[in-house]
Amino acid sequence: MRYKAVFIDIDDTLLDYVPCCREAFDAAIFRLSTFDFRLSTLNDSGLFDLFFEISGRLFSEAKHGKHTIAEVMDLYPAEFIAAIGYPESAVEPFKHAFRAAWGETHTLVPEAKEMLDALKAKGYRLFAASNSFGHLQRRRLERAGILSYFEDTYISMDIGYDKPDIRFFEEALRRCGLQPNEVLMIGDSMTTDILGAQAAGMDALFFDRRGGASLLELIQPLL
């Protein structure tokens, strides 16, 4: 076996980001509707698109080092609330409701569980590697029924660095006691997962989700 372990990204590799985001967003909007704000705008279907556009832009800027993931987690609720003309006092309730709901979201990407089964059966040590809050990501994996596949979870807020920072990968390798050439990274982001892992001396497999790739086909060379 060429590799001893596989690091696997979470969002849009194991868990389906858009439906999870939509679910958390709806919960956060519901929370807002319990306040005395402008309720008439709350059912506007364009709201989620606006939220998705704002958060997407900020996460994309984070990939290129403009913000940390921790900063983005505070920036996008604030920017969204300002964009819809709600008072600043709505930011914290919205943010907290979104996070609480996010921690319960667990829609799986097709074949994610089958991929984990196949890798596990082949004897690979598995580790999750994600940019986010550790407790929320572990909760989501648990809710999805896949936390137990992982020997450990390396999540940026716990590690202290965000992917693609080489220090994220170095710290993860230190924690599992493996050399870069013993680990393969699998993820859907060319910037954070693939180029980040390669910069740390690891091999990486790009999961081209938008291009319609299949996780099981992707890992065939490992089986």
Could you list the residues that contact Mg ion (CB under 5 A)?
Answer: 9, 11-12, 188
Question: What value does the CA radius of gyration of the chain take, rounded to a whole number of Å?
Answer: 18
What is the smallest separation between the CB atom of 143 and Mg ion, expressed in angstroms? 18
DSSP H helices in 34-165: 46-63, 69-83, 91-102, 112-121, 134-143, 156-159
Other C-beta atoms within 10 Å of 219: how many? 22
Residues 195, 188: contact at Cβ < 8 Å?
Answer: no
Contact 2, 179 (CB under 8 A): no
Pick 32 or 112: Cβ nearer Mg ion: 112
Output 2 or 210, the one with its CB closest to Mg ion: 210
Residue 9 or 162 having the CB closest to Mg ion: 9
Residue 97 vs 183, nearer CB to Mg ion: 183
> Least CB distance from residue 36 to Mg ion, whole Å?
38
**How many whole angstroms from its chain centre is CA 172?**
16
CB of 13 to Mg ion, least distance (A): 5
| Least distance from Mg ion to the Cβ atom of residue 156, Å | 12
CA distance 198 to 200: 5
